[in-house]
Amino acid sequence: IAGEGRRFFGQTVPSELQNKFAMLVRDSIGVVGLITPWNFPLAIPSWKIFPALIAGNGIVFKPAEDTPLVATLFVQILEEAGVPAGVLNMVTGFGPEAGQPLLDDPRVRMISFTGSSEVGRLIGEQAGRQLKRVSLELGGKNAILVMEDADLDLVIEGALWGGFGTSGQRCTASSRLIAHRSVAANVTEALAERVRALKVGDGLDPAVQVGPVINGEQLERIHGYTGIGKGEGARLVTGGSVLADELDGGYFYAPTLFDRVTPDMRIAQEEIFGPTVSVISVDDFEDAVEVANNTPYGLSLAIYTRDINRAFRAIRDLQAGLVYVNAPTIGAEIQLPFGGIKGTGNGHREAGTSAVEQFSELKSVYIDYSGRLQRAQIDV
């Protein structure tokens, strides 16, 4: 992003009139409000703060109420690095007290929000009434498509990391495994064996593979979805319990795997944001793509296949802002734009060369050096 400050590109174009110069430049927006979630308390603020600064904006930064310490230290580091006083400001607190004023204040001309779809819609509605610019990065119900020709060992590694890494607490988590019927049983059995062997515990312990979830409320939410899945008729293969006795003093949930899941079940449609993966069996590639696309979200989708033609059809047909081939739905790199379509966002992208676009305004400039009035062609 620092480099993008030297590539703040506009355009120069020919004018329709002689002795006239036409160009496009980028300008700052003004004051922007940045509201970030708890699950990546350093990465996501940096994705927003750095391009907003490079574009010349003032910032009011509201981190999640669950992770204020990381944000405080981050801002202190930036101040020590030389960010001028008053350019980067931080407020802490809950949404109604700390976030709502950013929406209400007319001096804040843009809101960039990463969080739940429910809150994102409210922000979009309120900011829209004031004609504020809004960038929304919301939820995901991401899927890995497993074709009959896939490298199943590679699939298991990817599904394990994509579904249970960071306890499933990321918007790109691989929460659905859409497997060709001919390999679905083998995939489920092999994955279940690996899931049962995952070590749950203190995330600071190098031997631990799955840490806690963020708080008690989220723990109850995750466990509630286990009950929903069983009630809908899905088969609980492994997990599905709060690890209160085994791991005292933390919000730990057993890595959970369902199979016999149908595409319309709530556990296949709604974002759980925890270590829960659902296996859905399909008949062919076309069926897999249809199931993958049939959610309100469009953040990240992946396919495992050895067929290059099928891979390129998936790239074309999968409805998501991120598509992976022979890799899980997590692992985006900072040099490409990050974001989704449909219910996942409103069209803006973070990271990559497009990062500064959401934090800047376009300004068309015309310079007439003819020394006389020149009317545009439409006025002649």
Residues designated catalytic:
137, 171
Count of CA atoms in the C-beta half-sphere (13 A) of 318: 28
110: which strand partners?
Answer: 32, 133
Q: What is the DSSP code (8-state) at residue 345? A: B
CB 89 within 8 A of CB 83: no
Strand 176-180 to strand 235-238: parallel, antiparallel, or no bridges (unpaired)? unpaired
Rounded Cα distance, 221 and 234, in Å: 18
C-alpha distances in Å from residue 72, one per residue of 77, 95, 115, 295 = 9, 17, 19, 37
**Euclidean distance between CA atoms 170 and 189, whole angstroms:** 25
Residue with tokens 């990391």: 161
Are residues 131 and 29 in contact, defined by beta-carbon separation less than 8 angstroms? no
Say how far apart CA 269 and CA 35 lie, in whole Å.
Answer: 26
Q: 43-54 burial, b if ≥16 CB within 10 A, otherwise e?
A: ebbbbbbbbbbb
Q: How far is CA 325 from the centre of its chain?
A: 18
Report the 10 Å Cβ neighbour count for 172.
23
Q: Which residue intervals of the chain are DSSP H helices?
A: 43-54, 68-81, 100-104, 117-129, 152-164, 181-196, 216-232, 266-269, 285-293, 308-317, 355-358
Calpha distance 150→365 (Å, rounded): 54
CA distance 374 to 214: 64
